[in-house]
Amino acid sequence: MTRTGGSRRQRGLRRTEQILEAAEELVAAVGVAAVGMNALARHAGVSPGTLYQYFPHKRAVVDALLRRLAADLPARTVRDGRTDPAPEAAVAEMLEEVAALAERRPALLSLLRGAEPRDEPNVLLRTLSTSLTGIPGCADEADEFTARILVQGVTVALRCADPDARARVLARTREAILAGAVVLDGRRRRATA
């Protein structure tokens, strides 16, 4: 590879990162639906033409943001070969980790709630669903259902200024996830019997 090709690639990676940083800031500030390509170009400090060279449409920007944030989730939610904790502890740990990530990356919840196509869950929800499947007691069919409960619970918890209220919301969310998983697991067992 020539020196020029490597430099060009590096510039392209930096520009992509610059655009995604700006997109994440805008999504955190105004939500997914309110972010337009022209506003994103202004916020990123690039021309609309440059933005369209990197991302042909808004969906491409949103998908890149989803992949970027999903890359942060597995490290925080997968059990890494440790002895599996009880389902209650595993769900509680996951809730705390997702809440902590959402505090550090405010666009996370907006992307989880509003950036998915109608026909399938977005990559962030799929990552959470996969992690929930690995928890004993969480039924396979409950994946998306439990991930959505988790998202809503974390959303409500992060609105709580009082740490005790936040802890109560996360505890109730954990209970709802586990109860929903048990109900769906029971239905699955009856259907296969």
- Domains in the chain, ordered, with CATH? 3-63 (1.10.10.60), 71-192 (no CATH)
Residues 21-80: pLDDT tens digits?
999 999 999 988 899 999 999 999 999 999 999 999 998 998 899 888 878 875 444 445
- Residue 54, classified by CB atoms within 10 Å of its CB into exposed (0-12), middle (13-18) or buried (19+), is middle
Q: What predicted TM-score, i.e. pTM, was given to this entire model?
A: 0.69
Polymer length in residues for the chain: 193
> What three-state secondary structure class fits 154?
helix
Nearest-angstrom CA–CA distance, 19 and 101: 21
Which H helix or E strand runs over 84?
Answer: none
Confidence of residue 132 (pLDDT cuts 50, 70, 90): low
